[in-house]
Structure 1
Amino acid sequence: MAYIISTICDYRPRVIVKLIVVLLIAGARSEWWELGSNKKSLNRAADESIPCSEMRSLSRSQRTLCERYRDHIEFVSEGAKEGIDECQWQFRANRWNCTTAENKKRNVDLNTSTLFGKVIDIGSRETAFTYAISAAGVVHKIARACKEGKLEACGCSNQARPKGLGAMWEWGGCGDNTDYAYGFAREFIDARERDVQSPRSPESRAKKAMNIHNNEVGRLAVVRAARPTCKCHGVSGSCSLNTCWLQVPGFREIGEKLEEKHNNAIEVKVTKRGELRKRKRSSPDVGMMDLVYLDSSPDYCSPNPRTGVLGTKGRECNKDSFGKDGCGFLCCGRGYDSFTVEIVERCNCKFQWCCVVKCQKCKKRVLKHICR
C-alpha cells in the first residue's frame, strides 16, 4: 500500500484514496474494442466460422449478441480499429498518446494484456475520450455497412426529408443508416457495462455510469454529424435529376469534435441513484453531449507500472513549438537530445501513360529531437 501511495503522490489529495481503491479492485478486464487491436483480431472477427464464445474480449451479453448478429462483428471490429487509429492521431502530440499494447516499445512492465493497459482503469478525461471515440467508430462503420448492403438486418436510411431542402432536390437516395447503427451500437457496446448489474463499490458504480454516458456521447457525435449530401445526374452534365441522401462525414471530423469535447470535459461525481452531477460549482451543467470524468489525469511524464503510465522518455518532440508537441511540454522539463538521421522517401514522381506513377527514392538527412 505504501508503494502505491508513493507512486501517485502527484495527484490531488481527494483523488488519492479513490485511485488506491480503483487500482486495488480493478482487474485487467478485456474490452470489446480489442477486436480492432491488430490484423489477427480483425481477421478473426470477419471469419464467421469462429464461434463467438472464443472472442474473449467480449462480455457474456456481447457474445450472445455476437451470435445473433454474427455478420455485424466484422464491422464492430473495423469500427474499433477506426476508433483506435483516430485516438492515436488526435493524441499524437500529447503526453499520453493513446499507446496500445502493440506499439509499446519501451521496457515497462504493465502486468496486463489489455489493449491500453491499466491506465484505462482510471476515470480520467483520456479514458472518457477512448470510450467515446470507440463507440463512434462502431456507429460510423455500421451505418456505412447498412448503406452498402453488407448486412441482412438493415439497408439504406429511411429518414424523412429534412426541412429546408430545395424543392428541385429529390430526397430518397441511399443514405447511411445512422438510426439502425445507433440502436445496434447502443445495445452491443453498453452490454459490457450492463453485465456488471450491481457493482459492489461506489467507485465501480461511478465508473459504470461514466462509461455509459461517454459511450452515448460518441454514438451521438456520429448521428448528429450526418447531413444531406446531393448530386446532379443527367446526360452531358444537364443535371436533369437532383438526388439527395443522408451521409456521415469522414471519421477525422468526428475525431476532431470529440477531441474538443475532451479538452472541455466536465469533472463529475455520481449520486447514489447513479446520476451524474458536476463536482465544481463553476462548471457548466452536464449536458448530453459533454464528456465526463471522475478522476484527475495521472502524471504521464514518468513511467509508473502501477497505473500503466509509460512516461514520455524516448518520444520525438518539436523544439520550435510552444504547443503540446513542443520539447518543453512533452519532455516535462527533462530536456532532449538532438541527432541527425538519414531517411529514404519517394521523390521526382512522374505520371507515365497509362496509368502508373513512378518515383525515385531519395535520401535525406533530418534533425530529430528525442525526450530524455
Structure 2
Amino acid sequence: MSRADADFCPNFSLYGSPHHNRYIGALGARVICDNIPGLVNKQRQLCQQHPDLMQSVGNGAQEWIRECQHQFRHHRWNCSTLDRDHTVFGRVMQRSDREAAFVYAISSAGVVYAITRSCSQGELKSCNCDPHKRGQAKDDKGTFDWGGCSDHINYGIEFAKAFVDAREKTVKDARALMNLHNNRCGRMAVKRFMKLECKCHGVSGSCELRTCWSAMSDFRRTGDYLRKKYNSAIEVTMNQDGTGFAMPAGSLRRATKNDLVYVESSPDYCVRDKAVGSLGTAGRACNKSSRGPDGCEVMCCGRGYDTTRMRRVTQCECKFRWCCAVECKDCEEFVDIHSCKAPKHADWRDQT
C-alpha cells in the first residue's frame, strides 16, 4: 500500500448517517467495516468490535474539519478538501509539513473529543461516565463530592490512540514517527482543557457543600491551542536508529512532547498544484486594508486582485414595539469585494 493510499482519515460518512444502525443491522458490522476505505487491519478489527464507536469517529471527523477550516479561514492554505478524495484532505497529507502536523493533531483531538462526549451521553456500550470520579476530593476552594457525570477522557484517549495510531504503526519511517508524535499532541490537548464544574448546596446557595464533575471545555479551546502550536512547530529529522527525532543543524531549540513537529518545508500554496495538494488562491476573497495573511498582497501572492461592487441589504433602525415585536427597516449599501487574480504565467497553470 502506498503512502497516498495509506494516509489517515478514511471516509466515515456511512457512520455519520442517521440510518447507520439500520445498515449495520442489515449487513453486519464486518461487511460495513470491510467497506470503509483506507482502514488498516487493526482499525478494521476495532471497527468490528466497536461498531457503535464508529459513528462517534465520524462525528469527530466532521468536528475537526470545521475547526481546521475555522483556524485557517484567512490563510492561503485554508484546510479545504479536495473533491472525491477518501482521505478528506487529499494529497496535502502526502507531505510532512506544518499543515500535515496540524491536521494529524486536530484530527486525533477530534476523535478523543467525540468519543468522550458520546460516553457521557450514554450512546456507547463500552463506556459511560468516568467511574474513577467517586467519593470526595479537594481543590483550592476546599472539599467537594464527586457527582453528576464526569467526562471519561481517559477512555476517549485510549481508544483514539489505539485506532488512530494503528495506521502509523504499520510503517517505520520519519513520516510515521512524526504522525505518532503529533497524534499524541492532539490527544493531550483535549485533556489539557478539562475543567471542574460544580453545583453549590446549602442555605441560599451558600456553597457549604459542593457537588462537582470533570468536563471537557469547548473544542474551540483545543483548536486555538493547536493553532498556536502550528505557529511554533519545529522542524525535525529522524535519528539514525529510527527511534526518535534529531534536530537539523542550526536549530534554536529541541522539540518537546508538547510541540508539533514537521519534516519538510511547506509549499507557498499560491497556485493550484495537485502534486502537493494546493488549491491555489485564485478567486479567494482578500482584505484590501489588512497587512496580515488575509490581506490582498499576501493572499494573492503579489498577483493583484479584482474588485466587484455588490449590493447588500441589511436590517437597520430596529425599534421595539410594545408588546412584543421588533420592527426594522431594510437598509441598502454597496460593498467592494476583493478577490485574487488567477496566475497568468504559463508555468503556473494547473499542474497534474
Q: What is the TM-score normalised by the length of structure 2?
A: 0.84
Q: Which amino acid aligns with 1:279?
A: P
Unaligned stretches of 5+ in structure 1? Answer: 1-24, 103-110, 200-204
1:181 to 141, 156, 159: 156
Q: Which amino acid aligns with 1:119?
A: V
SS of 1:101 mapped into structure 2: coil
2:262 to 288, 293, 304: 293
SS of 1:229 mapped into structure 2: strand
Distance in 2 (alpha carbons) for counterparts of 1:153 and 1:305? 42
**Do 2:9 and 2:88's aligned partners in 1 also have CA atoms closer than 8 Å?**
no
Question: Is 44-53 or 140-149 further displaced after alignment?
Answer: 44-53
Tell me: CA distance 1:168–1:275, structure 2 relative to 1, closer, same or farther (3 Å).
closer
SS of 1:128 mapped into structure 2: helix
Name the counterpart of 2:186: 218
Q: Which amino acid aligns with 1:166?
A: K
The structure with the largest strand share of the pair is: 2
2:35 to 54, 57, 62: 54
Name the counterpart of 1:155: 128
Residue 135 (1) aligns with residue 103 (2): no
Name the counterpart of 1:35: 12
Tell me: CA distance 1:129–1:170, structure 2 relative to 1, closer, same or farther (3 Å).
same
1:308 to 274, 277, 280: 277
Tell me: CA distance 1:360–1:206, structure 2 relative to 1, closer, same or farther (3 Å).
farther
Tell me: CA distance 1:170–1:360, structure 2 relative to 1, closer, same or farther (3 Å).
farther
Q: Offset at 1:232?
A: 2.4
Q: Which amino acid aligns with 2:242?
A: R
Distance in 2 (alpha carbons) for counterparts of 1:90 and 1:210? 21
Q: Offset at 1:240?
A: 5.9
Tell me: CA distance 1:112–1:141, structure 2 relative to 1, closer, same or farther (3 Å).
closer
Q: Identity across aligned pairs (percent)? A: 42
Question: Is 122-131 or 343-352 further displaced after alignment?
Answer: 343-352
Q: Offset at 1:54?
A: 1.5
Unaligned stretches of 5+ in structure 2? Answer: 25-31, 342-352
Distance in 2 (alpha carbons) for counterparts of 1:73 and 1:56? 13
Distance in 2 (alpha carbons) for counterparts of 1:61 and 1:100? 26
Q: Which amino acid aligns with 1:232?
A: C
Residue 242 (1) aligns with residue 218 (2): no
Q: Offset at 1:289?
A: 1.0
Query: How big is each residue's C-alpha offset from its partner over 1:46-100, in whole Å with a ceiling of 9 and x where there is no partner?
Result: 4363421111132222111011011111111111111111000001111100010
Name the counterpart of 1:21: none
Tell me: CA distance 1:287–1:46, structure 2 relative to 1, closer, same or farther (3 Å).
farther
Name the counterpart of 1:207: 175
Q: Offset at 1:33?
A: 4.9
Provide the aligned C-alpha RMSD in A: 2.8
Name the counterpart of 2:197: 229
Question: Is 316-325 or 152-161 further displaced after alignment?
Answer: 152-161
Tell me: CA distance 1:263–1:241, structure 2 relative to 1, closer, same or farther (3 Å).
same
Distance in 1 (alpha carbons) for counterparts of 2:322 and 2:124? 40
